[in-house]
């Protein structure tokens, strides 16, 4: 079972209005991806050491309600599509104290070799493929 990624807003992430700057949401999406891989038992360093990259093809974010300094938030990492060559991810960021949805975003990725040529991980790295496939059978959804 996977758990949402959680932490508090750092002071340096806030702007003059005292709220988390919009650019930091894409960063926490990346933190949630790395956390997901750690929870799945396949740290990003292991994936990279096998010559696999997961470049971002696109990313977007919609802001609903601001997070402020020291607010604790939860990021739900939801893989919407996965086929062994690419995947699409939905992120939902909630204020842990109030339960309010603060932001929603997406990112799309592909799996490549070290020369950035697309690969099919099902054939070349079945264990990594299995992590994502297992998740698709039992996702975390909020």
CATH code of the domain containing 99: 3.10.129.10
On whether residue 102 sits in a domain, the answer given is yes
Q: d(Cα 121, Cα 119) in Å, to the nearest integer?
A: 6
On whether residue 142 sits in a domain, the answer given is no
Per residue in 128-141, pLDDT tens?
Answer: 999 888 888 776 65
The residues facing 121 across adjacent strands are none
Q: Which domain holds residue 84?
A: 5-137
On whether residue 19 sits in a domain, the answer given is yes
Number of domains into which the chain is organized: 1
Q: d(Cα 52, Cα 103) in Å, to the nearest integer?
A: 30
Average pLDDT over residues 28-46: 94
Note the pTM of the prediction, 2 decimals. 0.91
Which 8-state DSSP code applies to residue 112?
B
User: Is 20's pLDDT higher than 80?
Assistant: yes
| Mean pLDDT, the chain, integer | 93
Per residue in 68-119, pLDDT tens?
Answer: 999 999 999 999 999 999 999 999 999 999 999 999 999 999 999 999 999 9
Instruction: Give residue 142's pLDDT band: very low, low, confident or very high (50, 70, 90).
Output: low
């Amino acid at each position: 079972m996977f758990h949402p990624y959680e932490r508090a807003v750092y002071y340096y992430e806030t702007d003059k209005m005292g709220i988390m700057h919009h650019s930091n949401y894409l960063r926490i999406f990346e933190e949630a991806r790395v956390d997901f891989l750690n929870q799945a038992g396949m740290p990003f360093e292991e994936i990279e050491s096998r010559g696999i990259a997961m470049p971002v093809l696109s990313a977007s974010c919609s802001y609903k309600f601001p997070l402020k300094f020291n607010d604790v938030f939860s990021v739900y990492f939801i893989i919407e599509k996965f086929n062994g060559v690419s995947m699409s991810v939905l992120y939902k960021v909630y204020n842990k104290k109030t339960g309010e949805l603060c932001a929603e975003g997406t990112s799309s990725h592909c799996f490549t070799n070290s020369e950035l040529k697309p690969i099919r991980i099902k054939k070349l790295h079945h264990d990594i493929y299995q992590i994502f496939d297992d998740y698709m059978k039992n996702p975390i959804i909020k």
